[in-house]
Amino acid sequence: MASIQRVSFLGLGVMGFPMAGHLQQAGFEVCVYNRTASKAAKWVEAYGGSEADTPAGAAQDVDAILVCVGNDDDVRSILLGEGGALAHARPGTLIIDHTTTSADLARELDAACREKGLSFIDAPVSGGQAGAENAQLSIMCGGEPEAFESAQPLFDAIGKQSRLLGPAGSGQLCKMVNQVCIAGILQGLAEGISLAKAAGLNIEDVQQVLGGGAAQSWQLNNRALTMAEDTFDFGFAIDWMRKDLNYALAEASRLGLELPVATEVNGYYRELQDAGMNRCDTSVLIRRLAPEWPGK
């Protein structure tokens, strides 16, 4: 596969905006597309590069097309159909989807790409907004080894590690595992910090001393203090986490597995959405544990 020089980046949300920026800064010629065009203009102002008015326009004459949008339907509408990027990409173009989607969609996109002589990698990420901004993402990939190999320079520009987990869909399956793990970690941390606060302990001290033992986690390091301070207007929104957990629970169910705590935590998030906290960071689980929470 020829080396990658010109790329398009479709979707400039809190993740995509800095990711596309790192690619431009690493020396790739980046053309961006965003549904709300003003964001694309803002991106060009910040980083240089160019913008396209449509997915089709962004798809022409590039070596790779990267996508980072909301959910399965968003990916479909930007990539598939007559106006979608796939129909306008030249043969040999590498398609990389950084969106967290179902594994089924990844397999469907892989098949659509093969039909058109394109390569496909599903490549959801972990590390959050901060990871995207600092080019410290962890990238979970599914696809062919050659395609993964040729994508390395792109991944190096946006992440601290990338790994090929298997054929198309495997990146998404790994991301589901990631989110299921996080659901348990965050609820455990929420219960622990609630207990610490009720017991009158200093949360910075608790965070320090727990961080040296078997309760250590990225979430403890990055969310214990903000949980204790009741600050949630940042980070990874519940709306996205629920989407991800629903993909994971559907996949588990297909595989004949029950995931009781992931199911339970998904229900807690639904309650918090219903209470209007849908844009709050996932660590807002601690609010449900307060004695004044309705239903207690």
Tell me the window of 5-13, 39-47, 66-74, 186-194 that interacts with its own copies (CB under 8 A).
Answer: 186-194
Find the shortest distance in angstroms from Cβ 139 to its own copies.
Answer: 8
| In contact, 195 and 290? CB cutoff 8 Å | no
Instruction: For the chain, state the CA radius of gyration.
Output: 20
Crossing angle for the helix pair 103-115 and 170-198, to the nearest 10 degrees: 150
Neighbours of 44 (CB within 10 A): 16
Q: Which of 154, 165, 227, 284 binds its own copies (CB under 8 A)?
A: 165
Amino acid, single-letter form, for residue 80 = L
| Closer residue to its own copies, CB minimum distance, 52 or 106 | 106
| In contact, 1 and 59? CB cutoff 8 Å | no
Catalytic positions are: 175
| Closer residue to its own copies, CB minimum distance, 41 or 257 | 257
Find the shortest distance in angstroms from Cβ 223 to its own copies.
Answer: 9
| In contact, 152 and 125? CB cutoff 8 Å | no
Burial (Cβ within 10 Å: 0-12, 13-18, ≥19) of residue 116: middle
Binding residues among 220-259 for its own copies as defined by CB under 8 A: 220, 222, 236, 248, 251-252, 255-259
Find the shortest distance in angstroms from Cβ 261 to its own copies.
Answer: 5
Neighbours of 78 (CB within 10 A): 27
Q: Does 201 bind its own copies (CB under 8 A)?
A: yes
Q: Does 198 bind its own copies (CB under 8 A)?
A: yes
Binding residues among 131-150 for its own copies as defined by CB under 8 A: 131, 136-140
Binding residues among 80-109 for its own copies as defined by CB under 8 A: 103
Distance in angstroms (rounded) separating the CA atoms of residues 78 and 45: 23
Find the shortest distance in angstroms from Cβ 150 to its own copies.
Answer: 19
| Closer residue to its own copies, CB minimum distance, 111 or 177 | 177
